[in-house]
A and B are shown apart, each in its own frame.
Chain A
Amino acid sequence: MKARACTAALLILTAGAAFGGDAEFDRIVKAIESRYGTKPVHIPFMGVANFVVNVARPEGASGFKLAVFEGLRDLNSAGDPSEWRERDRFMDTLPGPNLHPLVRVHSRHDGEATYIFMGPPSKSHKSTRVLIATFERNEATVIEVQANIDTLLKSLEEPAHAGRTLRE
C-alpha cells in the first residue's frame, strides 16, 4: 500500500514537473469539449506512460499530456473548406499569451487538420512546450509535449509533416 502511494505520488510529481502551473492544455481541452459536445476518451495508465516517457527520452519528449476525442459534433466533412475556416477561427481563439501559433496544416487528401502551438522555452532554452491539436473526420487529439527545440526546428523543414514528426 505504501509502495503504491509512493508510486502514485511520483507519477503526479513527474507530470507536474513538466507542466507545472500550466492550465492551457486543460483550457483548450475544455474548449474543444464545449465546442464539439464531447468528452475526452479515458486512457488507462496515462500517468504510467508519462513516467515512461520521462525516463526513456530525457532529451526528447520529457513528458506529455494527451486528450483523445471521438464523435465530435458538427465535424463530419473534414474536407469542407468552410468547416476548415470555421475551425481555424475557433482555434485562433484558444491559445493564451503563452502559446504562439506556429504551423497549421489542412489536408483534404487525409481529411486531417493539424494545429501546432509553441510555448515558452525551458530555463535552459533547450526545450519548449509544444501543443499539437489534430482533427480527423469526427475525431480529435490534443497532445502537449516538452519538445527539444532542435527537433522542433527540424520538423519545420517539412511543415506539412511537422505534427507527425513531433508526435512520434
Chain B
Amino acid sequence: MKIATIALAAAMLPAWAQEIKLPVNLDALADKADEAVSVTMDKSMLQLAARFLNDRDDDEADVRKLIAGLDGIYVRSFEFKHEGEYSMADVEAVRSQFPSPAWGRLVGVRSKRGDNVDVYFKDGGNGQLGGIVVIAAEPRELTIVNIIGTLDPQRLVDLGGEFGIPRFERSRTHKEAR
C-alpha cells in the first residue's frame, strides 16, 4: 500500500479535543523524523473543495458527496531515514487513544513486511460513521489521518488519495472489513 507522507492534528475541534488527545510522544516522533508533514482541512476548506469538484466526473462526484458530511480532515505523517527509528510503543500510544465502546476497530492489517494499518471508527448512528482515524505504520513511515464528521463506511475508500490521505487498496480494505 502506498502511504503518502502524513499524520493527525487532533484536538483541532473542541469536541474532539475531549476525546482524542494529541499523544505526548508525537512531538518526539517529529524530532526523530526526517520529514514531518501536517495537512489541515477544516469544514470551510472542505466546502470550498466540494464546490470545485465536478459532478459530471463520477469519481469527483463521489468525493463531493462524501465530504459534504465532513467537518474536517487532519493528517500528520512522519518519514524516517532508517527503519526502527520509531517504535511500536509509539504507535500503541496513538492506538490507545481510541478505547471501546466509543471507538471500534474496523480494519486491522498486519503484514510481514511491517506495513500495519488500523482503522478506528466512531458510531454516528443510522449506519453511518461519526468519525474515522486511520493509523498506517510502515517501517520508515507513520501516518495518522483523522476524519471528523458523518460518512458512509463504504465510501471511505473514495477518500484515498485525496487531501493527503493515503490510497487504500479496495480489495484488501473490503476483505478485512468483512
* Chain A positions near chain B (C-beta within 8 angstroms): 81, 84-85, 100-109, 118, 121, 125-126, 128, 149-150, 153, 156-160
* Chain B positions near chain A (C-beta within 8 angstroms): 4-6, 27, 30-31, 33-42, 44-45, 48-49, 51-52, 75, 77, 79, 81, 161-164
**Cα of A37 to Cα of B10 in the assembled complex, Å:** 34
Closest chain-B Cβ to A120's Cβ sits at a distance in Å of: 8
Closest chain-B Cβ to A95's Cβ sits at a distance in Å of: 11
**A156 — which chain B residues lie within 8 A by C-beta?**
39, 162-164
Q: Is the CB of A100 within 8 A of B44?
A: yes
Query: Which of the residues B37, B48, B162 comes within 8 Å of A160, measured between beta carbons?
Result: B37
Q: Is the CB of B31 within 8 A of A81?
A: yes
Q: Is the CB of B36 within 8 A of A106?
A: yes
Q: Is the CB of B4 within 8 A of A158?
A: yes
Q: Given A126-B52, A156-B162, A157-B4, does the pair A102, B37 have CB atoms closer than 8 Å?
A: no
**Cα of A85 to Cα of B75 in the assembled complex, Å:** 18
**A103 — which chain B residues lie within 8 A by C-beta?**
37-40, 164
**B40 — which chain A residues lie within 8 A by C-beta?**
100-104
Q: Is the CB of A159 within 8 A of B4?
A: yes
A108-B81, A160-B79 given. 20 additional CB < 8 A pairs?
A84-B30, A84-B36, A100-B44, A100-B45, A102-B39, A103-B37, A103-B164, A104-B38, A104-B40, A105-B35, A106-B37, A107-B35, A108-B33, A125-B48, A149-B52, A153-B162, A157-B4, A157-B164, A158-B4, A159-B4
Closest chain-B Cβ to A82's Cβ sits at a distance in Å of: 8
**A160 — which chain B residues lie within 8 A by C-beta?**
4-5, 35, 37, 77, 79
Query: Which of the residues A101, A125, A153, A159 comes within 8 Å of B5, measured between beta carbons?
Result: A159
Q: Given A109-B81, A159-B75, A160-B5, does the pair A102, B34 have CB atoms closer than 8 Å?
A: no
Q: Which chain A residue shows the least CB distance to B161?
A: A157
**Cα of A118 to Cα of B27 in the assembled complex, Å:** 25
**Cα of A85 to Cα of B38 in the assembled complex, Å:** 13
